[in-house]
Each structure stands twice: as C-alpha cells, then as structure tokens.
Structure 1
Amino acid sequence: MPITTCIFDAYGTLFDVAAAARAAAAEPGRERFARHWPAIAEKWRLKQLQYTWLRAVMGEHIGFWQVTQDGLDWALEAEGLQDDADLRDRLLQLYWELEAYPEVPDMLAALKADGRNTAILSNGAPDMLDGAVRSAGIGDRLDDVLSVESVGIFKPARVVYDLVGQRFGCPPEEVLFVSSNGWDACAAAGYGFRTVWVNRAGEPVDRLPAAPEAQLSDLSGIPAMVRG
C-alpha cells in the first residue's frame, strides 16, 4: 500500500533540541556555561523525556512547557548552575527558537511536491510547536501540527497515534512515521505505522515489542524512501 501521509516527531527529529544550549554557550559572558553546555543539553533532554513517561504512567498530565522547565531545572542543579536565573531564562527563551536540522525544509518540500500529506505529531504544546515552526520557516510545508494536548497524555500512549487517522482519514499502513526517539519509532511500529528511526547518534535499537522498519542518519533520504 502506498504511503500517503508522512508524520514527524518534532523535538530532536525536525528541531535540534541541543540548539538552545549551544547558542547560549556562544554568547558573550557565558564562558562558565560554555564548559557545561553539552552536559546540560543531554541531561535536559533526558529528564524532559523521563518526566513525560512518568507523568503518563502516573496519570498526572501537565503541559510540555512545564515538563521542559522541570527538566532544565534538574539539569542545571546537576551541573551546579541552579543559582543562575538569567541563564535559566535565556535557555528557556531560546527553546522557543530552536533551529531545524539543515535538511528539513527541502525534505518537506519534496514530500509536498510528490503530493504527500505532511504533519507533526508531538508531545509539545501547541504554542511551543507554533513558535518552533515559525522560527524554522516550515509552516508552508506542513498540513497540520498535532499535539498530545488534545488527548491529555504523552506519547507513546496509543491514543496519541490515533490522532493521525482522525485528522487524515488514512489507515495506519499508509502512514510513514518518523522520529529521532527510538522508543517512539518502536511504539509507532507496534501501532501499525511504517516507521523510520532517525538515528543520528548511531545508538542500538530499543528492546521493545516492535522495531522500526528502517533507520537513517538524517532526514534527507525520506522522500526517496516514500517514493519506493
């Protein structure tokens, strides 16, 4: 069955989640932070994800923006930088302006030129996602931006993946789901989507009930894959 609809995770897939910390580290006067920024970026992202999973299991949903702040606060304290309020404010500001990976605009444009539906499906809150899409200048290449806020639980809950069929009226086997998160790609495969894991770091596949159909090191090969 041909792929009619291409769905992308947002953070870490289309948008570089390390960009906020990297940009702050390059600013004048942040020499101390520059020594810590790779660790901050890694720990921030890890805790952000862990808090989504834990809140989903506990039934304690809260918006992704609060989860993002909580993850940053943990990371800053882990690196001994919890007292730098200006740094915290700056990092959070920059998170609304994340860079897209370089191949993203042309990749999405190619999919649209081929007549595919394109959309984001993300744990992110609608306002956060709108800010990232505007900052990256890719709004004209997307048919929709779908957020978990409409169902009140984070991925990988199945009701989140249900949003794709509800929006586009397509069966799962017509959907290519693309994520940089191995657990997300595995869960989407188990749901019935065709899946690609964008494995930029060359990590092992997660030991979960299902596995992604394919792996790529970046997104540039997606249009050719969809064409078959």
Structure 2
Amino acid sequence: MNAKATTPSPDDARKPRSDGEQSRERLLHAAMRLFGQQGYSKTSTREIANAAGANVAAISYYFGDKSGLYQACFGFMCATPGGNVAAFEQPHYSLRESLQGYYRQMLAPLLQHEDAEILLRLFYREMLEPTGLWQREIEDNIKPEHAALLRVLCRHLGTQDVTDDLQRLAHAIPSLAVTLMIGRDVIAAVSPQLVASPAAFAAWAEQLVAYAEALVQVEQIKLQQRTA
C-alpha cells in the first residue's frame, strides 16, 4: 500500500482557506467517510452533499461527478505513479536508511494524517469492492515500489540473483506494516497504547525497521552458506 502525505508550509497554514476550498474539503472528507463505510455503489452524491452541508451541484462543480469525487478521495491518499520510490531507493543510503524511508512512506497516513482511520477504511473498501482504482494502484505504485525494494536488497546483499527467497523477503518486509494497518482494531483492543497517537505509530515504524533488518540478516546468512 502506497500513501502520500503533504506537509503544509507555515505560510500555507497562515493563509485562510476560501469558502470554495472549505466546501471542497468538506465534500472530500464526507465522501471518504461514506465511501469507506458503505462502498462506492451504495453511497449517493446526495448523501455525501448532505453530510458535507453542501449542495449536490457542488460535487459536479469540483469533481465532475460521483466517479470523479471517488477518484479524488482515492488519489488523496495515494502517491503519484512511482512517487514513493525516491524515499527509500538512494544509492548512498545504508540499509537502515532505506528501510526507514520505506516504512515512513508506507505508514504516512498513520504517522501524519488526522483522518488515518477514514483513509484506511476507504483503501480497504476499494480492495474488497474494486472499481479499478486498486488495480491501477498496483500497477502504478505497488509494482514499482516492489521492484525498487528488490534493487535495494540486492545491493545490500551483494547479489544480482533475484531468487524466490529474495522475492519472499521483499514481500515480507511490507507485510509487517500491512499487519499493523489492517490489524489496527485488534491492536487497539489488546494494546491500545500502541496505536493511541502519531508518536505511537512513529515508534512502530522504527521497530519495524529493526525487524526488517533481522529478516535481511537471515537472508544474508543463507546466501553465505550457499557460497561457502
């Protein structure tokens, strides 16, 4: 999963939003919540407009139609195609730096966005009831990020042989974070302090780096044993 997060500059934070910007944001927020709860097909534009305190015509004005609004919601949390790769694939990065960048971009909604739960519900609703945007996310972002992670692992393991074991490692590393995201409700019920704040998720991110380093070390030992 590949989320984008933008940090407003101090100047932007001081600028009052226009009525149009506020109306558009209210529509996005209401749509994300309702699409996430009910799915695309069961959510009407009138319902979204009522929840946002806006006129139905505002959806046409800002987004074109229901499909355009849904795409705007989904695009709100997804990176531009391939946009997250630079966060972790840099030739001068150590393995730890690459893993830190990898988890930072992957957990961006949990680390930086106050509406993290709404975003995640929308994302997984799209996975369960795909409209085509999930497949586009796989092609545009997940595949390029997987390929980039494989390049990072090959470089630090000193190999160019992309074996099935290396592929499994490249899937296991993101799965640590995926478990955190989709298992958030369970974690909140069992150990609520672990998901209580952005700082708690930041601690998770650092710990995931350590777990991933251990996985890479295991693969390194296996490679050494094969060549011994």
Structure number with higher strand proportion: 1
Using the size of structure 2 for normalisation, the TM-score is 0.40
Using the size of structure 1 for normalisation, the TM-score is 0.40
Structure number with higher helix proportion: 2
